[in-house]
Amino acid sequence: MKRKSTFHREGYSELYLILIPPLLLLFIFKYLPMAGIIIAFQDFNIFTGVLKSPFVGLTHFQNLFQDPEFYRILRNTLLINFYKLMFWIPLPLIAALLMNEIRIAVFRRVVQTTIYLPHFLSWVIVGGIFVNLLSSQGPVNEMIVAMGSEPIRFMLDPKFFIQVILASSMWKEVGWGSIVYLAAIASINPEQYEAAMLDGASKFKQMVYVTFPNLLPMIALMTMLALGNILKNSFEQILVMYNAAVYEVADVLETYVFRMGIGQMEYSYSTAVGLFSSLVGFILIVTANTLCRKYLGRGIW
Amino acid sequence: MNRKYAFKSDYWFTLFCYISLAIFSLAVLLPLLNLLAISLSGSPAVNAGNVKFLPSGLQFEAYSHVLQSKQFFVSVSVSVIIASLGSLIGVLLSVMAAYPLSKMNLPGRKWILMVFVFTLVFSGGIVPQYILMHKLHLLNSIWSVIFPYVTNIFYFLLVKNFFEGLPEELEESAKIDGASQLTILFRVFLPISKPVIATISLFFIVELWNEYFLSKMFITKQSLMPLQVYLRSVIFEAMDPTGRSTMESKVNISPQSIINATIFLSMIPMMILYPMLQKHFAKGIIVGSVKG
């Protein structure tokens, strides 16, 4: 009896009612697609529907693991994201450490305003900007020609396309990525610096021995976050910027699913590839989160 | 040498920091200037590849061409509708999900929270999503883009964290006055939650304005083509930016100028929002990453 009255007094029934609309949308647009994964085990026909399509067991997965194409795409996915991590982990940190030494407020504000801006531009716009820069007559090729080499067709050359992906993603996100480190630097106890100065530490030494160690948890957290998202990270960027000439090096799991599934209507096979990608992503992010909770005392979510 | 510096090496180190950041800023700025310069230059200079960071043979016709293009107008309108409707619904849903789940004592809170967070770590993938939209008859409808975005869990968590930080007395005193939960949420909580509401509205607007993938997948009708999809076809698929079938009769303007004018015009809404974005986003991302 008492419990019931608490339930009423706290307005719990009303709270549950408020939760219905968000839960309903979540169910339709997130959970129904999860149930739709079942077509990876079927010979799905979009006209007969999920309920009436025949089951074929693990056939699509057998085909998948025998397909050399699949291994090439998996390799591309891992390579592109591995390269990205190599730059993504140190660059925003370095930007923040440099920014920390800036004492002229105007300079700091101008730099911050500039380097955060590209984060808000879409991949399509960033793609357009790089098409300009890297066109046969663009500034980059002009420098290459001035140094006595042949102009490079960056967007069409499998040897250079990955570099384009890397450069454009760093151009877009490094400035923005420095924000979390700047916030962490701001929360360092000033007494640590005072003590270091009393010990006669130069500014560089303060950076190495005071600022940097204080940032280690944040660095670990950002690395884990990046690792957890490694599979879905570059999808939209590549989808926008790639073309048939560079499929060989630029095709990643999700772009492949998109082309096979939506473009060529190989629904069941591409769902199997997608399920593989989702499962690996799931394992990565849950591992990353567990590690964060264990060693850093807080999770990603 | 400046007396502020305790060591000679401090002076050089600080100088190094200034110079590196100046170079970084230029690396961000120059490509944008390049874009602007090409959009404003006359065709002889553009075609000869002589336009670097300043316009040469100044013209504004590229812009008037784009602004007269019917498809550009259509695509901008579609994107404005998607971004405004989407952010409105997104904010509403985030608040409605966040409020009940910010009550620590709500029975089953942990389980319901799990239902939300699970969508962060696992998804049905591209093809099942496509088939769902097909079955719901939402293909070629702006809702196919809006609905997947408004169920974004990150922003809901941001609001939930904010609500959890508010004092409990707020709710108690309203309850004594006999207010219902819905009244408390909209009359008491929302007014003091302006900062976080502003932050996530901006998050939604930016995401939806820049959205490419879902629109590309779900919308094939030209009359519903959002700006980013249109823009990509202009940049990468050599679609005529003016939406006409031929590129003739534009002696003074290079197609490249028109493309770049289209890009620049598409950047304007983000540029206008940018001062606000900088203020709120920096806050949002810090709240989100440090407390999340």
Contact A112, A99 (CB under 8 A): yes
- Classify the complex by whether its ipTM is higher than 0.85, answering yes or no: yes
Nearest-Å Rg of the Cα atoms of chain A is 25
Cα–Cα–Cα angle for A128, B216, B71, rounded to 5 degrees? 70
Length of chain B as a residue count:
292
d(CA B183, CA B171): 10
**pLDDT value of position B290:** 39
The mean pLDDT value for A263-281 works out to: 91
Residue in B with minimal Cα distance to A104: B18
Taking every pair of Cα atoms in chain B, the longest distance, rounded to a whole number of angstroms, is: 76
Q: State the nearest Cα–Cα gap between A31 and chain B, in angstroms.
A: 7
The pTM assigned to this predicted structure is: 0.91
Contact A15 B121 (CB under 8 A): no
Q: What is the dihedral of CA A171, A174, A177, A183, to 10 degrees?
A: -130
Average pLDDT in chain A: 89
The mean pLDDT value for A202-209 works out to: 91
Residue A231, both tokens: 């599979």
Residue in B with minimal Cα distance to A277: B125
Digit-coded pLDDT (tens) for A160-187: 999 999 999 999 999 999 988 998 898 8
**pLDDT value of position B172:** 81
**pLDDT value of position B5:** 73
Contact A22 B96 (CB under 8 A): yes
d(CA A255, CA A151): 29
Which of A116, A240, A257 lies at the smallest CB-CB distance from B212?
Answer: A240
Residue in B with minimal Cα distance to A46: B131
- Weakly modelled stretches of chain B, pLDDT under 50: 1, 243-249, 287-292
Secondary structure (DSSP) of A70-110: HHHHHHHHHHHHHHHHHHHTHHHHHHHHHHHT---HHHHHH
Contact B87, B204 (CB under 8 A): yes
Contact A19 B52 (CB under 8 A): no
Contact B231 A124 (CB under 8 A): yes
For tokens 């990453």, what's the residue?
A: B289
**pLDDT value of position B291:** 38
The mean pLDDT value for A119-131 works out to: 94
CB atoms < 10 A from the CB of A101, how many?
A: 21
**pLDDT value of position A129:** 95
**pLDDT value of position A55:** 87
Digit-coded pLDDT (tens) for A284-300: 888 888 888 888 777 66
d(CA A34, CA B126): 10
Contact B212 A270 (CB under 8 A): no
**pLDDT value of position B158:** 87
Q: Which of B14, B53, B127 to mutate to test the interface with A (most CBs of A within 10 A)?
A: B127
**Residues of A with Cβ-Cβ distance to B213 under 8 angstroms:** 235-236, 239, 258
d(CA B149, CA B128): 16
**Residues of A with Cβ-Cβ distance to B235 under 8 angstroms:** 124, 127-128, 131
Contact A129 B34 (CB under 8 A): yes
Residue in A with minimal Cα distance to B148: A29
Contact A270 B127 (CB under 8 A): yes
**pLDDT value of position B245:** 41
User: Could you give the C-alpha distances from A88 to A96, A233, A235, A236, B85, in angstroms and in order?
Assistant: 13, 12, 16, 17, 34
d(CA A182, CA A178): 6
